């Protein structure tokens, strides 16, 4: 019993030591709260959202949850509008996940 425990521990240590170190992130993304944004950052964020609202959707949106498979109507959401924008896709995917 002791031998197998020592052997297992030795194997784990050897594998851990031989493992390649994880690659480091070259660019770390930080999620910021709206109230901490500077005026410049707020304008940039609003501009990005407005840009999403002007671009037509590509039709590549794949919904992760099939809400039609639920029997209760409260879980169903309206069908996807094919002439919507990227912003509409963003809203729709959040509705689908909730």
- Measure the CA–CA gap between 80 and 66, rounded to whole angstroms: 12
Please state, rounded to an integer, the average pLDDT across all residues of the chain: 75
What lies within 8 Å, CB to CB, of 79 at 6+ separation is none
Q: What is the dihedral of CA 31, 51, 38, 40, to 10 degrees?
A: 140
The per-residue DSSP string of 4-31 comes to HHHHHHHHHHHHHHHSPPPPPPSS----
Q: 38 has which bridge partners?
A: none
Q: What is the pLDDT of residue 89?
A: 79
Domain ranges of the chain: 57-98
> Given this model, what pLDDT does residue 9 score?
56
Q: What is the pLDDT of residue 71?
A: 75
């Amino acid at each position: 019993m002791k031998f197998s425990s020592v052997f297992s521990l030795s194997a784990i240590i050897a594998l851990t030591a031989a493992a390649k170190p994880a690659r480091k992130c070259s660019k770390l993304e930080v999620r910021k709260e709206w109230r901490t944004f500077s005026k410049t950052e707020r304008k940039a964020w609003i501009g990005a959202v407005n840009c999403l609202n002007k671009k037509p959707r590509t039709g590549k949106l794949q919904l992760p949850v099939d809400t039609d498979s639920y029997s209760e109507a409260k879980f169903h959401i309206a069908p996807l509008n094919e002439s919507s924008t990227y912003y509409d896709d963003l809203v729709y995917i959040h509705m689908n996940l909730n």
